[in-house]
């Protein structure tokens, strides 16, 4: 690996410039990816290491980003279970046999992580195609539970919240199983050579702080502790939307980097999590669609807020939107790389 700037920033070491990677940086906005999608559906790409690694490497070769994230879907680790899901364009995962009862949870097939060994193979291939760190990832147990209980991405997840309040035994048992799945899945990626891992617990921000701390936080702690036991040198990143009220609690999970969405002032967020941890974020993804001076001014504004402080990784506040123009991504990368950070 020639470029370890991202890893250095994760560990709050001195860097020559602010590293940048973007959530969903490989995907629908890239014409070359759309050509591949005409011949292969998403799960076929995920299950074919050569295709997955090629797609993952695309934005690195095109834009000069400082990390590659392996192209897989959040639902991939659930395939060895009896959960039946479909990945529907413009909707996301759709679950046909949702979790409604304890028997549904207990009927989930005993997990064998080797059934998703294609992810490890994709990481190994990807590491030979890029000279930047490779990020492995998994969905957080709560986020996956939201899909498994509600059946579809709806941002409110009323059925999940009802189960959390009224069927806590069922909910906790599901979280136990999902946590073990996530641990095995991330350990597989670390052993395959992932240089960093990110836990996307995207939807935990829909919970109030007391509920998060009581029902979700212990599982996330267990995940990060387990990854550290496998390889303590691998940086661990956590991301959640609308997390302002729980940032101080996320800072206690054992992760090295905390991603924040665009609703947060990054300087305020960093003061919440403590400057002893790195932070990732947080440009509004819609600005990348628009491009132009507003985008560049907003990016520079974020960089100005944290100038001189070690441990900032530039990213969007959520994933790249499909209507984003590739030239806007290249412009953003150039702006971030050119900014004089005056590292201490």
Out of 37, 173, 277, 309, the active site residue is 37
Residues of the chain with pLDDT below 70 are 1, 343-344
The answer to whether residue 160 is domain-embedded is yes
**Domain enclosing residue 152, as ranges:** 5-338
The answer to whether residue 273 is domain-embedded is yes
Out of 147, 185, 212, 219, the active site residue is 147
The answer to whether residue 257 is domain-embedded is yes
User: Which phi and psi (to 5°) does residue 209 adopt?
Assistant: -60, -45
What is the model's pLDDT at position 46? 96
Out of 28, 173, 307, 309, the active site residue is 28
Q: What percent of the chain has pLDDT over 90?
A: 90
147 part of the active site: yes
The answer to whether residue 111 is domain-embedded is yes
Strand 134-139 to strand 196-200: parallel, antiparallel, or no bridges (unpaired)?
A: parallel
Q: At 282, which helix (H) or strand (E)?
A: strand 278-283
What's the domain count of the chain? 1
Note the pLDDT tens digit of each residue in 166-190.
Answer: 999 999 999 999 999 999 999 999 9
| Number of neighbouring beta carbons within 10 Å of residue 23 | 22
What is the model's pLDDT at position 61? 96
The answer to whether residue 198 is domain-embedded is yes
Q: How many residues does the chain have?
A: 344
277 part of the active site: no
The answer to whether residue 343 is domain-embedded is no
Domain of 218, CATH number, reads 3.20.20.210
What is the model's pLDDT at position 88? 83
The answer to whether residue 137 is domain-embedded is yes
73 part of the active site: yes
The answer to whether residue 267 is domain-embedded is yes
Out of 24, 54, 185, 284, the active site residue is 24
In angstroms, the CA 116 to CA 46 distance is 10
Out of 17, 33, 73, 176, the active site residue is 73
């Amino acid at each position: 690996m020639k470029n370890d700037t991202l890893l250095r920033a994760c560990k709050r070491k001195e860097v020559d410039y602010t590293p940048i990677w973007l959530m969903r940086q490989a995907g629908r906005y890239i014409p070359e990816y759309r050509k591949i999608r005409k011949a292969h559906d998403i799960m076929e790409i995920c299950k074919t290491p050569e295709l997955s690694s090629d797609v993952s490497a695309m934005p690195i070769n095109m834009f000069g980003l400082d990390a590659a994230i392996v192209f897989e879907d959040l639902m991939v680790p659930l395939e060895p279970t009896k959960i039946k899901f479909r990945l529907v364009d413009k909707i996301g995962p759709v679950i046909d046999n949702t979790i409604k009862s304890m028997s549904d949870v207990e009927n989930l097939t005993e997990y064998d992580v080797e059934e998703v060994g294609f992810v490890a193979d994709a990481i190994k291939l990807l590491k030979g195609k890029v000279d930047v760190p490779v990020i492995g990832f998994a969905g957080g147990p709560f986020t996956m539970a939201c899909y498994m209980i509600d059946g579809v991405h709806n941002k409110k997840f009323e059925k999940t919240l009802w189960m959390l309040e009224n069927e806590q035994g069922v909910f906790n048992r599901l979280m136990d199983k999902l946590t073990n799945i996530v641990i095995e899945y991330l350990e597989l990626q670390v052993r395959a050579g992932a240089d960093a891992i990110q836990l996307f617990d995207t939807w935990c921000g829909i919970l109030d702080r007391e509920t998060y701390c009581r029902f979700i936080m212990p599982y996330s702690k267990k995940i990060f502790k387990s990854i550290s036991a496998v390889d303590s040198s691998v940086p661990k990143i956590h991301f959640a939307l609308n997390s302002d009220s729980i940032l101080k609690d996320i800072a206690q999970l054992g992760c090295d980097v905390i991603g924040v969405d665009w609703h947060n002032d990054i300087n305020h967020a960093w003061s919440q999590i403590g400057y002893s941890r790195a932070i990732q974020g947080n440009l509004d993804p819609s600005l990348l669609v628009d491009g132009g001076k507003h985008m560049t001014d907003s990016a520079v504004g974020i960089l100005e807020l944290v100038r001189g402080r070690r441990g900032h990784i530039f990213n969007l506040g959520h994933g790249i939107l499909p209507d984003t123009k590739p030239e806007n991504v290249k412009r953003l990368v150039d702006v971030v790389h050119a900014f004089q950070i005056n590292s201490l």
